[in-house]
Structure 1
Amino acid sequence: MNSLINYRVEGNLALIGLARPPVNALGQPLRAALLDAYERASANADVQAIVIHGDSGLFTAGADISEFGSEASFAAPDLPSILVRLTQSSKPLIAAIGSIALGGGLELALACGYRIGEAKARLGLPEINLGLLPGAGGTQRLPRLIGAEPALDMMISGQPINASRALQLGLLDRLADSAETLLDSARAFAAELLASNAPARPAERFAQPAAGLPADFFASFRASNEPRWKSRLAPRLVLAAVEASCRLPLEQGLAREGELFRQAEDSAQSAALRHVFFAEREAGRIPGIDADLPLRSIEKVAVIGAGTMGGGIAMNFANAGIPVTLLEQKAEALDRGLAQIRKNYEISVKRGKLTEAQLEQRMELLQGTLGYADLADADLVIEAVFEKMEIKQQVFRTLDEVCKPGAILATNTSSLDVDAIAAVTRRPQDVIGLHFFSPANVMRLLEVVRGKATAPDVLATTMKIGKRIGKIPVVSGVCFGFIGNRMLEPYNREAHRLVLEGSTPAQVDGVLTALDLNMGVLSMTDLAGVDVNFLVRDGNRAAFANDPSYYILGDELYKLGRYGQKTGRGFYLYEGRDRKDDPEVVEIAERVAAELGVARRADITNQEIHDRCLFMLINEGIQLLDEGIALRASDIDLVWINGYGFPGHVGGPMHYAETLGLDTVLAGIRRYRDELGSHGEMWFQPAPLLERLVAAGKTRIEKI
């Protein structure tokens, strides 16, 4: 038998074990082997029932994602055709679901007449996260099994459900007590079905999937969700497919699903999201560091600073079951920090995301202290104190004295020189930057900043612990602002300058949000704090001393105490969460422009805003890659998607540049260098790597 399938017959039962590690991805070789095994069982007169299971326990995580967008995706035997064949079985066909049944894996289970799962199994249709929809019958069979509304919810959310919920919905027929007893339970289930002369495939539970729903259900669903979907194609295609399941016979519905799937698969959005999927997996591969490098043990963590950032960082480790010591200078600040952490958890309890017991378990993992001596046994110490080099260096001098040998010492700086911080210790090899993004207990990005002396095992250990606490860790070298904030500088600079030249904050931000960014860059500045932006800039003034207009509007707003949302005024006016345009910002811009001799104009187009902001963002990213600060272009995309709200379905700024055309980006930069006078000559300098890539006819951003 094919090595991808473990096929055996036990009496009147055929067992088909999927055996393609690590996740039984349903690529063409496994599809062919599965079909062959099924036909063999069907043709065997002694076999009266068939069980499909994961040979190593795990059922299947679904399709082979590397096939999407290529001919291999529908290479014979294609998954939709195989699953139609399985539904024609004359013998009871049981899916025994261990661990996970996701995407095409759940569609395989839906093609079986019966389903049994282990108690900890998770089932879902996450295709929307790749800009796709279920394309092997899921959009048609699931509504007929559990009803249109819960089926639609599963597909739109893309989130798996647990086994008990699947049983409640009727997606599972039975639950096994454990993974170890799953196959025995499946055997017993098959025996029961045969003893009761059960049909090979029971009648559809929801022959009319939309029964009981309002007549305008789909129209209302679309209207209420479209603002949140923005320009995303996949949710609309999912909705159309589920709607087809309610209006068309199964065979026609499957044909319609196939058409919609191909439309999604061929879209630029799906290509971008698949790029992001593989980027996340590639980010953990660090040149020169072997996968078998011994790592340091992280069993106890300490966080210095119990403010918003420090508290959020501590929560990440408590959430992962790791004890945390939280240090503050004063008892009041410590008590306030611990109280805020409890409040954050209480919000999660109210939302049903945590139980009271889980809240208390996590709080028990958090220990407060006012003394550095209590950090002596910590395996990892993260400082989250004020963003001033002198303060951070003093903290690290103290840590050097009190921490045990081999402890990893991490700074949460967002822009400062990690090497300068490490230099005040006698163990620079143990120092690393761990730049969490605010709110630290929510944001997925973690910039892991490797200093020139950082030991390989320190880097590898922190990358692993980052994943353990649910982050997407991305390696950065040392430079001002690292990857994300260094790229933010020219992006934000052009936004400020455009307002100085005659645009409005709303026009600038509107161009960016039209691309589906979560917010425009000036709104982001107001959210992060105009004062925070000023203080970061103030520590690096030598870099722009030759440009008196540099971020001048930000400086003016800072002088006026307009710090953004926290003060109710920044680039906008705020009443609670409501944001309003502020004519006074335009007046400030007019005054400052006149003082500096900057010509204002009314003809700034949306295209100019797009090109000046985004081309400068892209250009800086390419320069970071050329300098070796970023390991790969896809790492930069991950930083901007997970830290700065760049839309995943656009693929991040580097992928976006590739879709625009690198020659287009270079031509735009050169154009504004010539058109913007001294400002253009000063700031619109193409990255040498961009020029080399275009000269070489390259369409992908890579080091050459």
Structure 2
Amino acid sequence: MPQPVSLAQQDHVALIAIDNPPVNALSHAVRSGLQNCLRQAIEDDEIQAIVIYGEGRSFIAGADIREFGQPPKVPHLPDLINEIEASPKPVVVACHGTALGGGLEVALGGHYRVAPPSAKFGLPEVSLGLLPGAGGTQRLPRLVSAQKALGMITSGKPITAQDAFENGLIDRITPEGPMREAGLAFARDVLEQRMPLRPTRNLGPDPGTESIFADTRAKLHKSARGQIAPQKAIDAVEASLTKSFDDGLKNERRLFLELMGGDQRAAMIHAFFAERKVGKLPELANVTPRCVADIGVIGGGTMGAGIAASAVMAGLNVTMIERDKAAAAKGHDTVRGILDGAVKRGKLSAEKRDAMMRDAFDAGSDYAALASADLVIEAVFESMDVKQDVFSRLDSVCKPGAILATNTSYLDINDIANLTSRPNDVIGLHFFSPAHVMRLLEVVVADKTDPDVTATGFALAKRLGKIAVRAGVCDGFIGNRILSHYRKALEGAVLAGASPYDVDRALVGFGLAMGPFAVGDLSGLDIAWANRKRHAATRDPRETYAQFADTLCEAGHFGRKTGRGYYDYSDGTPVPNPDLTAILEQERLAKGITARALDEQDIIDRYMAAMVNEAFKILDEGIALRPLDIDVTMLNGYGFPRWRGGPMHYAETVGLDKILSDIRSFAKEDSYLWQPAALLERLVTDKLCLASLNG
């Protein structure tokens, strides 16, 4: 079996190659191999300089995730990096692809660093609830400014080679090509010019400004609300300026181990693995997706334009169809505007944008233009009549084998599929708005959907850079069904005596970026109102239906777009809508409810109990296959705080028995809304954990 690290020699330079596909992860074998090769090179009198580089597509993209949760084995990464740095012979690290996490920390241990223009550098540990634990918080501020180091470490976002060069992280930008040769060329320069050893630990850290750490703490208190790792990372970087290097390393290790044993790290590791497992479905084993190169999008509104822009930027050819030429022109401009935004953010060049709009996108009003499309996504108004008309037209013009997808949020996809002569080719692709930004895509599998159509949905999601979750057919699928249920619970909390502002404040404190009532105002209260009216005829008379949202809509208060909703936006800054107090008092009086104060924990408990209870019903019905599918859905589509791992992970953390006890307690107030899920009751009775359902 080939070794993942090998040693070669050219002239007087040792060439240490890391070859551990696919991304040269820092496995135990890689660490051991690096140490052995380094020691051999140091002991060899003929060797005057050392180059460390990666084979394949990357330098080192971080830790080996297969070793997560296992006891660490020697050599430990911090010790290995210290050994690299202490080499009596100059060490050049040649990075290509990505140098992330421990990979960048290895590079920081070298004396010099080179990379081609396409390389990326980052320390993404905060995304796992950690901070760099192998010297990254101490070495990076000695190469770049304290401000730059704080930004990289607390955000986890990678930077480009040009950015790294301009800030002193790397010493040369090399031509694209084999890194063996690039590293060797720089090592020869080091020897010929007699460049000194330059251990990073010996460099003086940038002192920064007096307020830099306080300002960063305050900023992250808002942008990373509730997260511990970014704040601890600030402490670690600050220590690089106030402590000796060795004491700074000890402090970094102490903080790292504190985070390693914490709930947030466990939650974020759970989210990390859940997102990698969510697309691995038994029904798709050995199923080949259909080929998709040309797609159609029906509808040029916000959603349709977002889908079209996302597809164009992913290299697909897109034809957008609208009701008439004027609407098509407007849709065309909306797509152009999204691509313009990508250019401004540096995600796309102006030349590429122009080529995409010229060669890969077209907008019109004739369905015949879709005759050669491999897949068509309908994104029109949420009305069964409108969608039935669209699918009848598509059925008549699309070629055999073309996939017909609906972006419906709630409607029955089986009913839509059965309108066509090809129900096996029909699927739900539920994008989230804005579609070119949001990562979640619910792939909704109807009763007759062919497996290769489902596989194509997952393949398309991957191509678009999205995370796909399989869902079955029901009203609202996974996410919107859970949303509908916890919204009813929160409306019940308002009827019980909390204000919408109490609810928003409690849930923002819990970790949401915005409270649910503020979100309703942002998206438009008329959308949910239309859905409630759709269900009015079939609503169970036992339901304690909260009417205050309808009353606001009847008065024309639809949220931000009308200047008033739950909040009043007339002066720019949202304040409570003064009309709502009287509306709530009248409804409570009519329902015989005596208002009482609800504390923040009571509100959070209702929110979580409602979410988790409905999730267990969805699991029991097979709408979602596993608890992890629900976690991934709520994390990526509904703003659930990632550092809590998802609602199902949270439920297991606090205890399924606690969730069930809360449901039974709330049932005394509303026995219809709070009916315990049978699956939840079985798990609690049998003392089973969610791992039994995640297989």
Question: Using the alignment, how far apart are the partners of 2:147 and 2:518 within structure 1?
Answer: 36
Which of 401, 415, 425 lines up with 2:420 in the alignment? 425
TM superposition shift of 1:69: 4.9
Q: Residue in 1 aligned with 2:71? A: 71
- Structure-2 residue corresponding to 1:141: 139
Separation (CA, whole Å) in 1 of partners of 2:655 and 2:540: 34
The TM-score with structure 2 as length reference comes to 0.96
Q: Which residue of 2 aligns with 1:91?
A: 89
Using the alignment, how far apart are the partners of 2:594 and 2:570 within structure 1?
A: 30
- Which of the residues 243, 247, 250 maps onto 1:252? 247
Q: 2 CA distance for matches of 1:262 and 1:167?
A: 32
Percent identity between matched residues is: 44
Aligned to 1:240: 235
Q: Structure 2: how far apart are the matches of 1:114 and 1:98?
A: 14
Q: Which residue of 2 aligns with 1:13?
A: 13
> Are 1:22 and 2:34 counterparts?
no
2:657 is the alignment partner of 1:663: yes
- What is the aligned counterpart of 1:602 among 574, 581, 596? 596
- 1:517 pairs, out of 512, 519, 538, with 512
What letter matches 2:389 in structure 1?
Q
- The one of 220, 223, 228 equivalent to 1:225 is 220
* Total equivalences in the alignment: 693
**Residues 470 and 577 from structure 1, CA distance in 2 versus in 1: closer, same or farther, beyond 3 angstroms?**
farther
Q: Is the 8 A contact 2:267 2:643 kept in 1?
A: yes
Partner Cα distance (2:2, 2:295) in 1 = 48
Three-state SS of the structure 2 residue aligned to 1:500 is helix
Contact 1:689 1:703 in 2 (8 A): no
* Partner AA of 1:683 in structure 2: L
**Quick check: 2:86–2:199 contact (8 Å CA) kept in 1?**
no
Output the CA distance in 2 between the equivalents of 1:203 and 1:649: 33
* Partner secondary structure for residue 283 of structure 2: coil
Q: CA deviation at 1:275?
A: 0.9
Cα separation, 2, equivalents of 1:57 and 1:315: 28
2:42 paired residue number: 42
Counterpart in the other structure of 2:4: 4
- Distance of 1:379 and 1:433 partners within structure 2: 15
Contact 1:414 1:485 survives alignment (8 Å)? yes
CA distance in 2, matches of 1:240, 1:604: 36
- Which letter maps to 1:549? T
**Partners of 1:575 and 1:169 in 2: how far apart?**
45
**Deviates further, 569-578 or 12-21:** 569-578
2:238 is paired with a residue whose SS is helix
1:193 is aligned to 2:183: no
Return the alpha-carbon distance in structure 2 between the equivalents of residues 703 and 348 of structure 1: 40
Choose the corresponding residue for 2:626, options 625, 632, 635: 632
1:562/1:443 CA distance change after superposition, 3 Å: same
Q: CA deviation at 1:68?
A: 4.4
2:442 aligned to 442, 447, 466, which one? 447
The offset of 1:618, in angstroms, is 0.8
SS at match of 2:405: strand
Match of 1:189, SS state, is helix
Provide, for residues 46-91 of structure 1, a one-character-per-residue CA deviation record: whole Å limited to 9, x for no partner. Answer: 222222121324211111245445532xx32110011111111011
SS at match of 1:682: coil
Secondary structure of the equivalent of 1:631? coil
2:689 — aligned with what?
A: 699
Distance in 1, matches of 2:622 and 2:21, equals: 34
SS of residue paired to 1:409: strand
Give, in angstroms, the shift of residue 577 of structure 1: 5.3
For residues 112-511 of structure 1, the aligned pairs below 5 Å read: 112-178=110-176, 180-201=177-198, 206-210=203-207, 213-290=208-285, 292-364=286-358, 365-511=360-506
- Determine helix, strand or coil for the equivalent of 1:667: helix
- Contact 1:492–1:522, Cα closer than 8 Å, also in 2: no
Once the two structures are overlaid, the 10-residue window that deviates more, 28-37 or 440-449, is 28-37
Q: 2: distance between equivalents of 1:243 and 1:525?
A: 41
**Alignment pair present for 1:564 and 2:568:** no
User: Whole-Å Cα distance in 2 between the matches of residues 206 and 506 of structure 1?
Assistant: 51
Residue equivalent to 1:580? 575
Q: Residue 316 of structure 1 aligns to which amino acid in structure 2?
A: S
Q: Look up the match of 1:61.
A: 61
| Paired amino acid for 2:686 | A
**341-350 or 520-529, larger mean C-alpha shift:** 341-350
Residue 242 (structure 1) shift: 0.9
Deviations 1:290-346 (A, max 9, x none): 2x4322111111100111111111110111122211100122212222222323333
Q: Output the CA distance in 2 between the equivalents of 1:545 and 1:295.
A: 42
- SS state at 1:101 partner: strand
SS in 1 for 2:113: strand
CA distance in structure 2 between the aligned counterparts of 1:410 and 1:690, rounded to whole angstroms: 33
Counterpart contact for 2:656–2:684, Cα < 8 Å: yes
TM-score by length of 1: 0.95
> How many angstroms does 1:687 deviate by?
0.8
The Cα of 1:204 is off from its aligned counterpart by 6.8
Judged with a 3 Å threshold, the aligned counterparts in structure 2 of structure 1 residues 594 and 647 are, in CA distance, closer, same or farther, namely: same
Quote the Cα distance in structure 2 between the aligned partners of 1:393 and 1:406.
20
Mapped partners of 2:538, 2:330: distance in 1: 38
Task: Give the CA deviation at 1:505.
Answer: 0.6
Following TM superposition, by how much is the alpha carbon of 1:348 offset from its aligned partner in structure 2, in angstroms? 4.1
How far off is 1:136 after superposition?
0.5
Once the two structures are overlaid, the 10-residue window that deviates more, 48-57 or 138-147, is: 48-57
- Is the 2:22–2:57 contact (alpha carbons within 8 Å) kept by the matching residues of 1? no
User: 1 CA distance for matches of 2:20 and 2:200?
Assistant: 32
What SS is found at the alignment partner of 1:315?
Answer: helix
Deviates more, 1:646-655 or 1:46-55: 46-55
State the secondary structure of the residue aligned to 1:435: strand
* Corresponding residue of 1:615: 609
The answer (yes or no) to whether the contact 1:6–1:55 under 8 Å persists in 2 is: no
Shift of 1:127: 0.9
Query: Which of 542, 550, 564 is residue 545 of structure 2 equivalent to?
Result: 550
Partners of 1:101 and 1:687 in 2: CA distance: 46
Give the residue type in structure 2 aligned to 1:692. R
Q: In 1, Cα distance between the equivalents of 2:99 and 2:556? A: 54
Q: CA offset at residue 249 of structure 1?
A: 1.5
- Which 5+ residue runs of structure 2 have no aligned equivalent? none
2:110–2:199: 8 Å Cα contact kept in structure 1? no
What is the aligned partner in structure 2 of residue 540 from structure 1? 535
Supply the distance in 1 between the matched residues of 2:200 and 2:261 (Cα, whole angstroms). 35
Letter of the aligned partner of 1:393 in structure 2?
Q
Structure 2 letter corresponding to 1:472: I
Look up the equivalent residue of 1:653 and give its one-letter code. P
- Distance (whole Å) between structure 2 residues aligned to residue 355 and residue 215 of structure 1: 38
Structure 2 counterpart of 1:624, which letter?
A: I
Query: How far does residue 617 in structure 1 lie from its aligned partner after superposition?
Result: 0.8
Superposition deviation, residue 273 in structure 1? 1.0
Shift of 1:398: 0.9
Preserved contact between residue 274 and residue 632 of structure 2 (Cα < 8 Å): yes
Give the partner amino acid of 1:96: A
Cα distance in 1, alignment partners of residues 38 and 420 from structure 2: 65
Q: CA deviation at 1:455?
A: 1.2
**Shift in CA distance, 548/692, structure 1 to aligned 2, threshold 3 Å:** closer
The structure-2 alpha-carbon separation of the partners of 1:260 and 1:284, relative to structure 1 and needing over 3 Å to count, comes to: same
User: For residues 418 and 321 of structure 1, what CA distance do their matches in structure 2 show?
Assistant: 28
Between 302-311 and 624-633, the greater mean CA deviation after superposition: 624-633
Aligned to 1:645: 639
| Superposition deviation, residue 185 in structure 1 | 1.8
Is the Cα contact below 8 Å between 1:483 and 1:630 reproduced in 2? Answer: yes
Distance 2:238 2:664 in 1: 49
1:443-471 Cα offsets, whole Å, 9 max, x none, are 11111111111111111112111111121
